[in-house]
Amino acid sequence: MATPKNFLDLQNGFYNALAQGLGYSNQDPFQVIQPSPPLASGADADALLWAYLNNIPVASLTQNTVFSGGNQFLANYQGVMSALQAAPNQFKSTIGQNCYNDYVAARKAKEVGPTPAEFRDWAMLCDPCSAVATSGASALARAMLDPVFAAQNNVLPYKPAGTEPVDFMPGYQKMLTLLKAAPSRSFSVSANSWQSDVSRTWTQGSNSGFFGLWGGSSSESTLSQKFASSGVGLQASFENVLPFNATPGNWYSSAAFGMAFNNPNKKPWDPEAAINWETTFGKSGNLQRFATSLLIANKMAITVQSAATYNEQEQQEIRNNSGAGMWPFYSTSSSSGSSTSVAFNTSGNMVVQITSKPDVPVVIGCIVLSAAQYLGHEAEVSKYFLTQFYG
Q: What would the pLDDT profile of 213-255 be if each residue is shown by its tens digit?
A: 999 999 999 999 999 999 999 999 999 999 999 999 999 999 9
Reported as half-sphere exposure (CB side, CA atoms, 13 A), residue 325 has a value of: 21
The pairing of strands 362-370 and 350-356 is: unpaired
Q: Domain boundaries in the chain? A: 7-73+172-247+291-368
DSSP string for residues in 261-285: HHSTTSTTB-TT-S--HHHHHSTT-
Query: Could you give the percent of the chain with pLDDT greater than 90?
Result: 83
With beta carbons less than 8 A apart as the criterion, state whether 242 and 180 touch. no
Residue 124 pLDDT: 96
DSSP annotation of 56: P
Identify the bridge partners of residue 300 per DSSP, sorted by sequence position: 238
pLDDT band at 33 (very low <50, low <70, confident <90, very high): very high
Beta strands in 114-258 (DSSP E): 168-169, 185-189, 232-245, 247-248
DSSP 290-339: EEEEEEEEEEEEEEEEE-S---HHHHHHHHHHGGG-BTTT-PPPBTTTEE
Exposed (0-12), middle (13-18) or buried (19+): which is 310, by Cβ within 10 Å?
A: buried
Separation of alpha carbons 107 and 104, rounded Å: 5
Q: What is the pLDDT of residue 162?
A: 55
Confidence of residue 43 (pLDDT cuts 50, 70, 90): confident
> How open is the CA angle 118-137-134, to the nearest 5 degrees?
105
| Section 12-26 average pLDDT | 96
56-75 per-position pLDDT tens digit: 999 999 999 877 667 899 99
Residue 362 has pLDDT above 70, yes or no: yes
CA 244-247-250 angle, to 5 degrees, is: 150
| Cβ burial 151-189 (10 Å sphere, 16+ → b, else e) | bbbbbbbbbebeebebbbeeebeebbebbeebeebeeeb
Q: What is the pLDDT of residues 112-171, one digit of tens each?
A: 999 999 999 999 998 889 999 999 999 999 999 999 999 999 998 886 555 566 899 999
Q: Is the pLDDT of residue 309 over 60?
A: yes
* Residue among 162, 151, 164, 154 nearest 112 (CA): 154
> pLDDT tens across 201-222, in order?
999 999 998 999 999 999 999 9
Cβ pair 378, 254 in contact under 8 A: yes
Q: What is the pTM of this model?
A: 0.92
State the Cα–Cα distance between residues 65 and 47, nearest whole angstrom: 15
